Amino acid sequence: MNGLTQLTDETFVLNLGPQHPATHGVLRVKLVMDGEWIVKAEPVLGYIHRMHEKMGENRTFAQFMPNTGRMDYLGALFYNHGYCCAVERAAGIEVPERAEWIRVITAELNRISSHLLWFGAFVLDLGGFTPLLYAFDDREIILDLLESVTGSRLTYCYFRFGGVYNDIDDSFIEGTRAFIKRMRGRMPMYHDLVTGNIIMRKRLEGIGPISQEMVRRYGATGPVARGSGINFDVRRHEPYSVYPELDFKVPVYHECDSMARYMVRMDEIEESMRIVEQGLDRLPEGPVMAAKAPKIIKPAKGDYYHAVEAARGSFGVRIVSDGTNTPYRLKLRSPTFSNLSLFGEACEGMLLADALALMGSLDLVIPEIDR
Amino acid sequence: MLDTIKAKLAALSPENISEPVYKEKGFVLDVQVAPEGVVAAAETLSAEGFFLEAITGVDWIDDNQLEAVYDYNHMASFCRVVVRTRCDRATPEVPTISEVYPGADWHERETHDFFGIKFLGHPNLEPLLLPEDADFHPLLKDFKP
Q: How far is CA B133 from the centre of its chain?
A: 25
A45 close to B (CB below 8 A): yes
Cβ of A316 within 8 Å of Cβ of B71? The answer is yes
Classify the phi-psi angles of A229: left when phi > 0, otherwise alpha if psi is within -120 to 50, otherwise beta. left
The beta strand positions in B7-64, using DSSP E, are 16-18, 29-33, 50-60
Q: Which residues pair with B68 in a beta bridge?
A: B57, B85
Chain B residues with beta carbon closer than 8 angstroms to that of A314: 53
Q: Residues A271-308, buried b or exposed e (16+ Cβ, 10 A)? A: bbbebbbbbbeebeeeebbbeebeeebebeeebbbbbb
How far lies B25's CA from each of A95, A300, A317, in Å? 17, 11, 12
Q: How do strand B118-120 and strand B93-95 relate by DSSP bridges?
A: parallel
How far away is chain B from the Cα of A135, in angstroms, using its nearest Cα? Answer: 32
Option in B23, B102, B128 nearest A46 (CB): B128
- How close, in Å, is residue B11 to chain A by CA atoms? 24
With beta carbons under 8 A apart, name residues in chain B contacting A232.
Answer: 75
Contact B100, B122 (CB under 8 A): no
Q: Do A303 and B25 touch (CB under 8 A)?
A: yes
ipTM: 0.90
What would the pLDDT profile of A34-52 be if each residue is shown by its tens digit? 888 898 899 999 888 999 9
Residue A132 pLDDT > 60: yes
CB B124 within 8 A of CB B109: yes
Run of H or E including A182: helix A170-190
> pLDDT digits over B41-78, tens only?
999 999 988 999 999 999 999 999 999 999 999 988 88
Interaxial angle between packed helices A97-125 and A130-150, expressed in degrees from 0 to 180 and rounded to the nearest 10 = 160
How close does chain B come to A217, measured CA to CA in Å? 5
pTM for the full predicted model: 0.90
* Biggest distance spanned by C-alpha atoms of chain A: 71
Q: Is residue A363 a contact partner of residue A125, using CB atoms and an 8 Å limit? A: no
Distance from CA of A266 to the nearest CA of B (A): 22
Asked if residues A364 and A45 have their Cβ atoms less than 8 Å apart, the reply is no
A219: nearest CB among B103, B127, B130: B103
Mean pLDDT of A177-190: 93
